[in-house]
Amino acid sequence: MRKENRIKRLSEIDIAIGITTSLVIFGHMAFLNTGEIYWYSSLRTLIYKFHMNVFFFLTGILFFYTKDIDSTSFSYSNFLLSKLKKFGPPYFFFALIFFIGEFIFSPDKNLFLEKQYGYIIIVLFKPINSYSTFLWFLHVLFIFYATIPLALRLIKRNYRIIIIFFCYILTFLPFPNFLSLRLYIKYLPWFLIGMVYVDYRQIIISNIKKFGKYFFLILIIIFITDYYLYDFSKIILSFVAIIVILWISLINNKFAYIFEKIGKNAFPIYLQNMTIVGIIYLTLTRYYHFSVKDLQFFVPVFFIFSVLLPIFIKKIFQKKMKYLKAFLGYSI
């Protein structure tokens, strides 16, 4: 393991998160996921095999790079409180927004309300089953932040890599959705692999720069194989995708600035994405009477608004409406 001077942000990780967030935005246009729009359904199925594994890996890098859990200066209580302040307001705000949306468009509002007994329990403990299903990511991530620092402090640093293999074995066992345990276990190994990247970052970067282009070709072959022949291993696909995305983020290219900007604003973009997509969808289908099949031609519109609007809102609220910013996912 090689020590290095820590800088505030890792540009390659910001770019990589920007690329992965773009894949998430593309996948959130679920209304296009029909048999009629085969190209979208096929791409979405392929992306969903690896994009969240990559996302949690990158999130793990950010955690282990910025937080030295072994340091005496690391305060677990302060850290957890900061995450509660960051995640809590947008979590409940968007849960409420999507609940209100479902109520407004419900044909029988009285029947809808009768069925909502205990809904707050679902939001708190099983967000994947709520109307705002995308909040499961925040739920799992917060539980990571609450448990991983405590667990790893009980294990000597040199033995922590072994835990990754143990966690991988756990993914084969059935876990319930309660407390997002199923998703917690599913993505835990990928989050912990971020620790390995941080410990060996310079060595990994050096090898990715040398061999990344070959993995890019391998990824194309995997995509073709997966599309035409059989379902390729999600584990292998995810590892190859990680290497390729990091390789792209390390080479000089004209799109780097765009993806870096997306990466730096990934949290509010992720949170606001579904709301923005939903508003555009309702506008095009209810007021302009476009069919779902017609909406495939508006994919760039959905994407551009999902990226630019959160960034634009951030600039508007730069120094104003501090608490509203917190509800929308901006740091205050």
CA distance 6 to 325: 29
Q: Which of 188, 247, 213 has the alpha carbon at shortest distance from 63?
A: 188
In degrees, rounded to 5, the angle at the alpha carbon of residue 268 between the alpha carbons of residues 313 and 34 is 110
Mean pLDDT of 219-223: 94
Q: Taking a C-beta distance cutoff of 8 angstroms, is the pair 4, 201 a contact?
A: yes
Instruction: Pick the range with the lowest mean pLDDT from 77-86, 183-192, 225-234.
Output: 225-234
What local confidence, expressed as pLDDT, does residue 189 receive? 97
CB 199 within 8 A of CB 1: yes
Q: What is the reported pLDDT for 2?
A: 47
**Residue 311 and residue 21 in contact, taking contact as beta carbons nearer than 8 Å:** no
Sign of the CA dihedral running 311, 66, 21, 249: positive
Rounded distance, CA 257 to CA 264, Å? Answer: 11
- Judge whether residue 101 has pLDDT over 50: yes
**What number of CA atoms fall less than 13 Å from residue 123's CA on the CB side?**
18
Give the dihedral of Cα atoms 260, 22, 24, 82; nearest 10 deg. Answer: 20
pLDDT at residue number 331: 77
pLDDT tens-digit map of 308-329: 999 998 887 766 666 788 899 9
Query: Backbone phi, then psi, for 21, in 5-degree steps?
Result: -60, -35
Q: What is the pLDDT of residues 63-95, one digit of tens each?
A: 999 998 888 889 999 999 999 999 999 999 999
Query: What is the percent of the chain where pLDDT is above 70?
Result: 96
Residue 56: pLDDT band by 50, 70, 90 thresholds? very high
Residue type, 34: T
State the pLDDT at residue 17: 97
Does residue 6 register a pLDDT over 70?
Answer: no
User: pLDDT tens for residues 238-277?
Assistant: 999 999 999 999 987 778 889 999 999 999 999 999 999 9
Would the CA dihedral through 178, 179, 183, 186 be positive or negative? negative
Rounded average pLDDT over 230-245: 93
In angstroms, the CA 90 to CA 138 distance is 10
Residue 7's region, left for phi above 0, alpha for psi from -120 to 50, else beta, is: beta
Side-chain half-sphere of 211: how many Cα atoms within 13 Å?
11
Q: Residue 7's pLDDT band (boundaries 50, 70, 90)?
A: low
Decide which of 159 and 54 is more confident.
54
**DSSP letters of 214-229?**
HHHHHHHHHHHHHHHT
Identify which of 212, 187, 190 has the alpha carbon closest to the alpha carbon of residue 64.
190
Per-residue pLDDT band at 332 (split at 50, 70, 90)? low
Mean pLDDT, residues 294-301 taken together = 94
In whole angstroms, give the CA distance from residue 296 to residue 73. Answer: 51
Average pLDDT over residues 204-211: 96
Rounded distance between C-alpha atoms, residue 289 and residue 296, angstroms: 14
| Contact predicate 61/198, CB 8 Å | yes
Average model confidence (pLDDT) for the chain?
Answer: 91
